[in-house]
Amino acid sequence: MTAILYSFRRCPFAMRARWALLQSGLLVRWREIELKAKPREMLTVSPKGTVPVLVLEGGQVIDESLQVMRWALEQADPRGLLQTGEGSADLIRENDGPFKHHLDRFKYTDRYPGERREHHRHAGISILKRWSERIAARGWLSGPCMGVTDGALWPFVRQWRIADPEDFDADAELAPLRIWLRRFLEDPMFERLMQRADPWSPGGLQPLFPADAVPVPRDQPLFHLALAEDWRMARAEGSYRISTRGMRLDEVGFIHCSWEQQVKATFDRFYVDAEDVLLLRIDPAQLTAPLRADAVPTGELFPHLYGELSLEAVISADRYDQEAA
């Protein structure tokens, strides 16, 4: 049995939980809910009735979004997202507290009698401008690299922009924040994050999240093309951390693998002009990092390893013979 995720597509708390699951390479059973008709099964395990709710295989329930994020990234964190910078915890508290308070009353003023929309707009923008200054100085909210703080906050910034797109896009002081937000919205992962599903019911379809991925069989060998120099360095260091030619695991988020019938096309696309290319034959049963077969833009599924490749899992590393392929 795979862990079960109760989620609601547009909820920013659920969005950041799904974002972390995507980053970790995990697959979960996906139960999209209707807020006005929450399933009894969800309320039984989490009576407070908010999403996300993650039910682990052993029955443990995690029903706080930050805890779901941390659990997922503790299983696999190929980009090092948990390495947060100074002040990250304060930023998340500010987002989940004051900023969310102002966002709700700015976006849904009619739900809060007596509240003034302009007051909450000004207060929310003040927070966003401080975040924008931090991004301008550091590159990301978490520091020089993207971290879990960035992943925890961007769904809420997106909601603010949806509520006030003209002013958000016109404010010069928010320019660094806009660039930062576009990094998430223009990432192919965003489309996967926002996939649609019918509301879950016990007798209906039982989809996985992400919906365009499948588990990787552990009884079929996997293959990876590697430059001989990269493999030599991996043997000296004790693990292999190259995603594909010229790209590291921490840059891409996973190591590209292939099934045997996919190797030649992968070589022709990425390695045809390279010298000293090796074909690594991998025993997936020896891998400890999550494996997930993800769809590429053409729709073809490729196995991806969401963590370093242990040398013990490599059965052989032979020179790739293009002529014999």
Mean pLDDT of all residues belonging to the chain:
95
Instruction: Tell me: do 276 and 302 sit in the same domain.
Output: yes
Instruction: Tell me: do 306 and 243 sit in the same domain.
Output: yes
Per-residue pLDDT tens digits for 75-104: 999 999 998 777 789 999 999 999 999 999
pLDDT of residue 86: 76
Instruction: Tell me: do 25 and 174 sit in the same domain.
Output: no
User: For the chain, what is the domain count?
Assistant: 3
Per-residue pLDDT tens digits for 153-212: 999 999 999 999 999 999 999 999 999 999 999 999 999 999 999 999 999 989 999 999
DSSP, res 199: P
Instruction: Tell me: do 97 and 38 sit in the same domain.
Output: no
Return the CATH number at 9: 3.40.30.10
pLDDT of residue 324: 57
Chain-centre distance for alpha carbon 169: 26
pLDDT of residue 323: 63
Which residues constitute the domain of residue 52?
A: 4-78+196-209
Is residue 269 in a domain?
A: yes
Return the CATH number at 150: 1.20.1050.10
Is residue 116 in a domain?
A: yes
Per-residue pLDDT tens digits for 46-83: 999 999 999 999 999 999 999 999 999 999 999 999 98
Is residue 83 in a domain?
A: no
Instruction: Tell me: do 113 and 18 sit in the same domain.
Output: no
Is residue 142 in a domain?
A: yes
Instruction: Tell me: do 132 and 179 sit in the same domain.
Output: yes
Is residue 119 in a domain?
A: yes
Per-residue pLDDT at 1 exceeds 80: no
